[in-house]
């Protein structure tokens, strides 16, 4: 029986042995789909699935991060370099739950607080952020206080942010996770939207050039649908959040993090449809593994790098405009376990495992996502192909299987004669240290340079190699 070809850029493979264990005939099929049989991969570089935006990569912060003096600063050289290492363009989303407890006081003393208490930012903090952005080349989507603030305060804060950030300001959001705001518990969407329009009117009166994104919904897709139906002509991004689950749940495990999430792909298909219908790009502007700061022993391990790399490509497959990986101090007041960038008690920043997933995407996630087909396999493998502006084709293979390696038979597309692998590895899926990409770790000053690029043997028009369990291989074809 010949293996069937499937499109891996839009389908997560389920271990087929589990599906076919019901009868002997099905077990025969499963046996034929043994992990020892090479997975045949072919690329159609002429068929574009979706373009990948130059500023696709992003970070997300609670507004309290801006109140940490010296953090967002051009003098914080290691943080500046960690951003530059990911690319010269990107988008930071600043908001979160703390944005609905934040006040702007031009000459006030900065105050970093947890949820339910007031966080204070001043003009100096904003000016430092502006200098940081100019040093990195990145921009900011800024969240304004709808939860506990007034429209007058929002307009004043918007003016101050615009003054400090200038052309580094991408857009404003009004409110965070608006479907959960207590002030609209009774009036629900209608009450929220009426107040949104009041705030937007006040901000536009003070700053006519203001650009907006929204609604910044949490779980309620109805808010997204209703919002875009009336606001699609006055939006930069349609925005929503996503977490796999809560940190306190016993179900929030490494295995869950590396498993398929069918209900989320259904929502992504709806976002894709909305983009096509309304012409509005969308962005998942707050996301990470498990909400509430992440799960220690899962969110801070190498498994998070594999999850992150696959997740970013998955979003690109559904024509998403970008992603903001939540990082740094959370609304509870500690540095989240899922943070791609970790800050210690002395303020020193470093790359955690998840950062390496973003780093790998930064190498291969450029240009256009193109069609890739692969034969079926019981291995929990995801595969994507891209073609950048230099004409290079990259194939990204993420083996999220904790037990089985993936044997690959990759047919080189026309015009390509060589293949080299950049491997994303660690001692184990549970490792918190020892992570490398292309044989190199991110240095203390935020730099990274490949150290071990593996030249693959090409016989005829195909390269045959393996991707070990709990690892990834990014193959450049030239």
* Residue 399 and residue 334 share a domain: no
Regarding predicted confidence, which is higher, 99 or 31?
99
Write down the residue that tokens 């965070």 correspond to. 176
Region 148-161: mean pLDDT is 98
* Residue 355 and residue 376 share a domain: no
Region 445-460: mean pLDDT is 97
* Residue 85 and residue 163 share a domain: yes
* Residue 93 and residue 59 share a domain: yes
Q: Of 364, 381, 412, which residue constitutes the final position of a domain?
A: 364
Q: Is the pLDDT of residue 466 over 80?
A: yes
Task: Tell me the per-residue pLDDT of 86-99, one tens digit each, with 9 for 90 and over.
Answer: 999 999 999 999 99
**Per this entry, what is the length of the chain?**
478
* Residue 282 and residue 336 share a domain: yes
Region 116-130: mean pLDDT is 98
CATH number at residue 399: 2.60.40.1180
Q: Of 364, 396, 427, which residue constitutes the final position of a domain?
A: 364
Task: Tell me the per-residue pLDDT of 312-360, one tens digit each, with 9 for 90 and over.
Answer: 999 999 999 999 999 999 999 999 999 999 999 999 999 999 999 999 9
Q: Of 364, 389, 407, which residue constitutes the final position of a domain?
A: 364
* Residue 346 and residue 314 share a domain: yes
Q: Which domain holds residue 69?
A: 53-364
φ, ψ of residue 474 to 5 degrees: the values are -110, 115
Task: Tell me the per-residue pLDDT of 226-258, one tens digit each, with 9 for 90 and over.
Answer: 999 999 999 999 999 999 999 999 999 999 999
Closest to 16 (Cα-Cα) out of 315, 404, 312:
404
pLDDT at 5: 36
CATH number at residue 134: 3.20.20.80
* Residue 216 and residue 80 share a domain: yes
* Residue 340 and residue 285 share a domain: yes
pLDDT at 44: 97
* Residue 294 and residue 333 share a domain: yes
* Residue 120 and residue 73 share a domain: yes
CA distance 122 to 381: 48
- Total of domains in the chain: 2
* Residue 324 and residue 394 share a domain: no
Q: Is the pLDDT of residue 72 over 90?
A: yes
* Residue 341 and residue 473 share a domain: no
């Amino acid at each position: 029986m010949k293996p069937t070809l499937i499109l891996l850029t839009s389908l997560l493979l389920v271990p087929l042995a589990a599906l076919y264990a019901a009868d002997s005939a099905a077990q025969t099929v499963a046996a034929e789909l043994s992990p020892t049989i090479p997975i045949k991969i072919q690329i159609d570089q002429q068929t574009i699935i979706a373009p990948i935006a130059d500023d696709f990569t992003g970070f997300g912060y609670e507004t309290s991060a801006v109140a940490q003096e010296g953090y967002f600063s051009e003098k914080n050289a290691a943080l500046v370099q960690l951003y530059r290492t990911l690319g010269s363009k990107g988008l930071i989303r600043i908001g979160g739950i703390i944005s609905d407890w934040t006040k702007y006081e031009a000459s006030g003393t900065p105050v970093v607080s947890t949820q339910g208490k007031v966080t204070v930012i001043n003009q100096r903090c904003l000016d430092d952020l502006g200098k940081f952005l100019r040093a990195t080349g990145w921009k900011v989507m800024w969240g304004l206080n709808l939860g506990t603030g007034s429209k007058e305060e929002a307009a004043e804060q918007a003016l101050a942010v615009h003054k400090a950030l200038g052309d580094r300001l991408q857009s404003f959001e009004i409110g965070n996770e608006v479907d959960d705001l207590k002030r609209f518990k009774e009036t629900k969407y209608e009450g929220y939207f009426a107040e949104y329009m009041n705030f937007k009117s006040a901000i536009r009166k003070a700053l006519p050039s203001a650009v907006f994104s929204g609604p910044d919904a949490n779980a309620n897709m109805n808010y997204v649908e209703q919002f875009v139906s009336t606001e699609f002509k006055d939006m930069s991004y349609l925005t929503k959040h996503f977490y796999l689950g809560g940190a306190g749940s016993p179900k929030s495990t490494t295995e869950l993090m590396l498993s398929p999430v069918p209900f989320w792909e259904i929502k992504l298909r709806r976002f894709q449809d909305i983009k096509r219908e309304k012409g509005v790009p969308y962005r998942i502007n707050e996301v990470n593994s498990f909400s509430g700061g992440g799960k220690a022993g899962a969110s801070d391990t190498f498994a998070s790098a594999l999850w992150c790399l696959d997740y970013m490509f998955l979003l690109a497959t559904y024509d998403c405009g970008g992603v903001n990986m939540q990082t740094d101090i959370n609304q509870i007041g500690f540095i989240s376990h899922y943070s791609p960038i970790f800050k210690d008690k002395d303020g020193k920043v470093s790359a955690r495992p998840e950062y390496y997933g973003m780093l790998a995407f930064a190498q291969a996630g450029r240009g256009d996502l193109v069609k890739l087909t692969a034969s079926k396999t019981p291995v929990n493998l995801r595969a994507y192909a891209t073609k950048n502006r230099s004409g290079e084709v990259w194939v990204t293979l993420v083996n999220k299987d904790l037990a089985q390696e993936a044997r690959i038979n990759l047919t080189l597309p026309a015009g390509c004669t060589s293949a080299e692998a950049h491997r994303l590895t660690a001692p184990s899926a549970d490792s918190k240290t020892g992570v490398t990409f292309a044989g190199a770790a991110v240095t203390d000053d935020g730099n990274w340079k490949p150290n071990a690029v593996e030249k693959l043997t090409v016989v005829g028009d195909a390269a045959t190699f393996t991707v070990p369990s709990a690892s990834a291989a990014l193959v450049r074809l030239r």
